[in-house]
Chains A and B, each alone.
Chain A
Amino acid sequence: MEIILFEIALTFYFAAAIVCVLELFKGTKTTSTIMLSLAAVGFAFHTSNIIARYVLSGHIPIANLHEASSFFSWCIVLLFFFLEYRYKLGLLGSFIMPIVFVLMLSSSMLPRKIEPLSPVLQSYWLGVHTVLAFLGDAAFAMAFGIGIMYLTQEHFVKSKHLGGLFQRLPSLQTLDEINYRLITVGFPLLTLAIITGALWAESAWGSYWRWDPKEVWSLITWFIYAVVLHIRLVAGWRGRRAAILSIIGFCVVLFTFFGVNLVLESKHIF
Chain B
Amino acid sequence: MKVLVLGVNHITATVEIREKLAFNGPKLEEGVSGLRQVPEVREVAVLSTCNRVELYTCVNTIAAASENIRNFLATFHGMQRSEFEKSLYVHSGSDAVRHVFRVASSLDSMVLGEPQILGQIKDTFDFALSKKSTGILLNKLMKKAISTAKRVRTETKIAENAVSISFAAVELAKKIFTNLAGKSFMLLGAGEMAELAARHLVNNGVQDVMVVNRTYERGCELAREFNGRPVKFEDFLHELVNTDIIICSTGAPSYVLLKDQMHKVMKERKHRPVFIIDISVPRNIDPEINDVDNVYLYNVDDLQGVVHSNIHERKKEAEKAEAIIDEEVEKFNRWLSSLDSVPTIVALRQKAEEIKREELDRFKNRFSDLGEEKTKAVEYLASAITNKLIHPPTVALKEDTEDRDELIAMIKKLYAIDGDDE
A residues contacting B by CB (< 8 A) are: 153, 157-158, 160, 162-163, 166-167, 169-174, 177, 235-241
Q: Are A160 and B174 in contact (CB under 8 A)?
A: no
Kindly state whether residue B273 has any CB partner on chain A within 8 Å.
Answer: yes
Check A173/B177 contact, CB under 8 A, given A160-B302, A160-B305, A241-B293: yes
Contact residues in B for A163 (Cβ distance below 8 Å): 309
Once the chains bind, are A239 and B294 in contact (CB under 8 Å)? yes
Q: Contact at A173–B273, with CB atoms within 8 Å?
A: yes
Query: Is B306 in contact with A240, judged by CB distance below 8 angstroms?
Result: no
Q: Does B185 lie at the interface of the complex (its beta carbon under 8 Å from any beta carbon of A)?
A: no
Determine if A157 and B175 form an interchain contact, defined as CB atoms under 8 angstroms apart. Answer: yes
**CB-defined contacts of A172 to chain B, threshold 8 Å:** 175-177, 273
Known: A172-B273, A236-B270, A236-B272. A162 touches B306 (CB 8 A): yes
Q: Which residue of B lies closest to A175 (CB)?
A: B178
A172 to B174, CA, bound (A): 9
Q: Is B332 an interface residue (CB 8 A)?
A: no
A171 touches B175 (CB 8 A): yes
Once A172-B273, A236-B271 are accepted as A-B contacts, the answer to whether A160 and B175 lie under 8 Å apart by CB is no
* Minimum Cβ distance to chain B for residue A60 (Å): 40
Instruction: Name the A residues within 8 Å of B160 (CB-CB).
Output: 167
A238: B residues at CB distance < 8 A: 270-272, 294
Q: Which residue of A lies closest to B183 (CB)?
A: A173
Contacts of A236 in B (CB 8 A): 269-272
B291-311 Cβ-contact flags toward A at 8 Å (1 or 0): 001101010001001100100
Q: Would you call A173 and B178 a contact (CB within 8 A)?
A: yes
> Counting CB contacts under 8 A, is B51 at the interface?
no
Task: Write out the residue numbers on chain B whose beta carbons fall within 8 Å of the beta carbon of A158.
Answer: 290, 296
- Smallest CB gap from B296: residue in A: A157
- In the complex, residue of chain A having the shortest beta-carbon distance to the beta carbon of B177: A173
- Closest residue of chain A to B309 (Cβ to Cβ) is A162
Given contacts A162-B306, A167-B161, A171-B177, 14 further A-B contacts (CB under 8 A): A157-B296, A158-B290, A160-B302, A160-B306, A169-B175, A170-B178, A171-B175, A172-B175, A173-B177, A174-B178, A236-B269, A236-B272, A238-B270, A240-B293
| A153-B175 in contact (CB<8A) | yes
27 sampled A-B residue pairs with Cβ under 8 A: A157-B175, A158-B296, A160-B302, A160-B306, A162-B172, A163-B309, A167-B161, A170-B178, A171-B176, A171-B178, A172-B175, A172-B177, A172-B273, A173-B176, A173-B178, A173-B273, A235-B270, A236-B269, A236-B271, A237-B271, A238-B272, A238-B294, A239-B273, A239-B294, A240-B293, A240-B294, A241-B293
B residues contacting A by CB (< 8 A) are 160-161, 172, 174-178, 269-273, 290, 293-294, 296, 298, 302, 305-306, 309
Q: Which residues of B contact A237 (CB under 8 A)?
A: 271
Chain A at the B interface: mostly helix, strand, loop or mixed?
helix
Residues of B within 8 A of A153 (CB): 175
Q: Are A157 and B172 in contact, CB atoms less than 8 angstroms apart?
A: yes
Give the residue name and chain of the B residue nearest to A157 (CB): B296
What is the CA–CA distance of A169 and B178 in the complex, to the nearest angstrom?
A: 11
Q: For the complex, give the distance between the alpha carbons of A158 and B176 in Å.
A: 11
The closest CB in chain A to the CB of B160 belongs to A167
Chain A CB within 10 A, most for which of B174, B273, B290: B273
In order of increasing CB-CB distance, the 6 nearest A-B pairs are: A236-B270, A236-B271, A171-B178, A174-B178, A239-B294, A173-B178
Complex formed: what's the CA distance from A169 to B269 in Å? 26
CB distance from A164 to the nearest CB of B (A): 9
Distance between B235 CB and nearest chain A CB, rounded to angstroms: 23
Q: Are B271 and A160 in contact (CB under 8 A)?
A: no
CB of B115 to closest CB in A, whole Å? 18
**Separation in Å of the B28 CB from the closest CB of chain A?**
40
Q: Give every chain B residue within 8 A of A173 (Cβ-Cβ).
A: 176-178, 273
Point out the residues of chain B lying under 8 angstroms from A240, CB to CB: 293-294
In the bound complex, residues from chain B placing their C-beta under 8 Å from that of A235 are: 270-271
Q: How far is the CA of A239 from the CA of B296 in the complex (A)?
A: 12
Chain A residues closer than 8 Å to B178, beta-carbon distance = 170-171, 173-174, 177
Q: In the complex, what residue of chain A is closest to B266 when comparing beta carbons? A: A236
The CA of A217 and the CA of B305, in the complex, are separated in Å by 49
Bound-complex Cα distance A109 to B69 (A): 81
CA A174 – CA B273 in complex, angstroms? 12
**Closest-CB distance, B263 to chain A (whole angstroms):** 13
Find the B residue at minimum CB distance from A164. Answer: B313
Q: Decide: A239 and B175 in contact? CB cutoff 8 A.
A: no
A174–B305 alpha-carbon span in the complex (Å): 26
Determine the distance from Cα of A256 to Cα of B113 in the docked complex, in whole angstroms.
54
Set of chain B residues within 8 Å of A160, measured between Cβ atoms: 298, 302, 305-306
Complex contacts, A162 vs chain B, CB 8 Å: 172, 306, 309
Minimum CB distance partner of A237 in chain B: B271
Q: Which residue of A lies closest to B291 (CB)?
A: A158
A166 vs B161: C-alpha distance in the bound complex, in angstroms? 11
**Contact present for A239 and B290 (CB under 8 Å):** no
Chain B CB within 10 Å — which of A160, A163, A239 has the most?
Answer: A160
